[in-house]
Structure 1
Amino acid sequence: MDREATAREYYRTLDEDDYETLADLLAPHFVHYRPDRTIEGRDRFVAFMREERPMKATSHPLDAVYATAPERGESEIAVRGRLLDPDGEPVVSFVDVFAFDGENVRSIHTYTQA
């Protein structure tokens, strides 16, 4: 799977509660940097998404996916999208920047705008 496809698959796993596949996408030392907290470790992140996230049954429509220039040796994908509540109402707009270790997501930095 290429990195853009991996980023898109990440949101599918969240929207469909596919936590097994989510874990497969992430490096063991995965870190999610969010405006409200930092979550360290793949297992901790998957547990948070499965059991602790404030709002479940959300969706993440994506507006754009941007890749850095691979010829410069960079390994990031930026995704611009929206978080919608269970009724389809906007909660927040976001940009997530994915960094990779090989095929796995090493980290995501999330930037939001209400």
Structure 2
Amino acid sequence: MTRPDLRQRTRAYYDAIDGDDYDQLTSLLAPSFVHNRPDRTIEGRDRFVQFMREERPQTDTTHPVDALYCRQEDSAVEPADGDNMETVEVVARGRLLDADGERIVGFVDVFTFAGDDIERIETYTH
């Protein structure tokens, strides 16, 4: 079954970063969260939130998301109605914009969830 709440949680992640809402960001991430990005890997929810709050190169940015895609995986049990799919990843395609609205980079983020918590993000940029 598709889990639309995971798409909402993906959007909430970007809202939290763009709004500097670090309590909200913390609530979305699993304690064992890992972010793999082209320039570094950040391990642990607390470490990632600290990076976003204190160390990221530009803080006055926005992340418009142009599309969200869900990758689904067959579940072990097939319901009679054939609805046997569960969302296991959400992929976000978007742009990172500076304070003037100028494009810094395009990105694709692949979100993996542990229950409702974001467990891992793999970031690809262009």
Q: TM exceeds 0.5?
A: yes
User: Is structure 2 residue 100 aligned with structure 1 residue 97?
Assistant: no
Aligned AA (2:114): D
- What's 2:51 paired with? 48
Q: How far apart, in 2, do the equivalents of 1:23 and 1:92 lie? A: 25
- Larger radius of gyration, structure 1 or 2? 2
Instruction: State the 1:69 CA deviation.
Output: 1.9
- What's 1:15 paired with? 18
Deviating above 4 A after TM superposition, structure 1's stretches of 4 or more consecutive aligned residues are: none
- What's 2:78 paired with? none
- What's 2:94 paired with? 81
3-state secondary structure, aligned to 2:57 = coil
Runs of 5+ consecutive residues of structure 1 not aligned to the other structure: none
Q: What is the aligned-residue RMSD (CA, Å)?
A: 1.2
Could you tell me the percent identity over the aligned residues?
57
TM-score normalised to structure 2 length: 0.86
Aligned AA (1:3): L
Q: How far apart, in 2, do the equivalents of 1:45 and 1:95 lie? A: 18
TM-score normalised to structure 1 length: 0.95
Q: How far apart, in 2, do the equivalents of 1:93 and 1:73 lie? A: 28
- What's 2:120 paired with? 107
Runs of 5+ consecutive residues of structure 2 not aligned to the other structure: 74-83
Whether the 8 Å contact between 2:65 and 2:94 is mirrored in structure 1 is yes
Whether the 8 Å contact between 2:108 and 2:123 is mirrored in structure 1 is yes
Q: How far apart, in 1, do the equivalents of 2:6 and 2:87 lie? A: 12
